Amino acid sequence: MSFLNSIASLHIFLFLLPSILCKPCDFPAIFALGDSNSDTGGFSAAFGPLGSPYGDTFFHMPSGRFSDGRLIIDFIAENLGLPYLSSYLDSLGANFSHGANFATSLSTIIPQNITLAQGGYSPFSLDIQAMQFSQFQSRSQFILRKGGMLKSLMPMKDYFSRALYIIDIGQNDLTALYFSNSSAEQYIHDAMKAFSKTIKSLYKNGGRYFWIHNTGPLGCLPYVLRQVPGDQKLDSVGCAVVFNELAKKFNRMLNETVAQLQKQFPVAAFTYVDIYSAKYLLISHATKFGFRKPLMACCGHGGGAYNYDPKARCGTSVNVHGNEVLIGKSCMDSSKRVSWDGAHFTEAANKWVFDQIVNGHFSYPSNSLNMACYNHNHKSF
């Protein structure tokens, strides 16, 4: 071996040495903020339960998740040996001993003017979720100190500084942005300021380990494609270019924001997870990975290229001669499909994406999930 080759090998070894010597992280809890991609029952608890066939694949009943089964966050909890997260908004049977979930469907980073009743967005925007977390932290510790029958359902005090904080939000901001004709540059800039403010709030309250998902390929979702004007360009996969370019712009600015947060808080560990690339890989090579019809909703109504009807979505029933008839039905085999209801992935697709991101192949720095307590300098705090 030449001298130069020896030096190169030594550099590689020294680079890998910290990750070889470091012990896996011990996350005793997860705290999640976000939208429907991580919602484990918040929206359902606040605004009414989802009906069948939601949840049918794994839970065999509606579980408050916008899927036929588990979400990426459920697979993360499983991988870390933690129970599934209870929603902060769910008052029935909730166990917060290993964390809490503040994510709700239709949530945005920037609060929207269009209310849910008007066909708009959730009132639980990211800033509200951060306030809920702060309240949860103080209230849970009060209950813990007080003791009694609820003590075992609360997280220990040190869990807040040792927990993994997962943030997955932005998809709804992009749809709101597109249909509002606002300036993309200004809107996303404002969204990043609000995002940073939330992270700083979590850090102030003890958060140190952040696992941050970027937003997926919006232009590949059936509910978006169904609304795309006929003159809009589609890529070779069939995804709407303008929406995906908007998602990429958002992700670039999010990546820059996370990098700045890492500089600002050097004792914290930030992992930026490129969900967009993982999901687009699955959609664009669905057949290769054992899936089919990636742009068609498994559960929906209307057939066609997307099987998505905003007036008859998944789980919709109509009254026929005095009888309730389900028209928003599930396809025969959701395990072979990517899109569940036109806006969210099936359990099978969620599991596939999780398998791609768990080892750090789509992350910066390239930390695996169980090494997410280390920053890019391989230091643990």
Active site residues: 36, 341, 344
Closest to 204 measured CA to CA, from 138, 255, 148, 295:
138
The Cα 215–Cα 175 span in angstroms is 12
User: What torsion, rounded to 10 degrees, do the Cα atoms 134, 139, 142, 144 define?
Assistant: -100
CB 15 within 8 A of CB 84: no
Peptide bond into 229 cis (omega under 30): no
Give the Cα separation of 114 and 32 in Å (integer).
25
Distance CA 177, CA 187 (A): 7
CB-based contact 132:48 (threshold 8 Å)? no
Q: Do the beta carbons of residue 291 and residue 335 sit within 8 Å?
A: no
* Euclidean distance between CA atoms 100 and 343, whole angstroms: 24
In the chain, which residue ranges form alpha helices assigned H by DSSP? 3-21, 42-47, 72-79, 126-146, 159-162, 171-180, 184-204, 222-225, 241-264, 275-284, 347-357
For residue 306 the two structure tokens come to: 């997307």
Are 40 and 86 spatial neighbours (Cβ–Cβ below 8 Å)?
yes
Residues written for the chain: 381
Residue labelled with tokens 């997926």: 216
CA angle 102, 277, 186 (to 5 degrees): 65
Strands 317-320, 323-326: pairing kind:
antiparallel
219 touches 241 (CB < 8 A): yes
CA 289 – CA 294 distance, rounded (Å):
11
Structural tokens at position 345:
């992935």
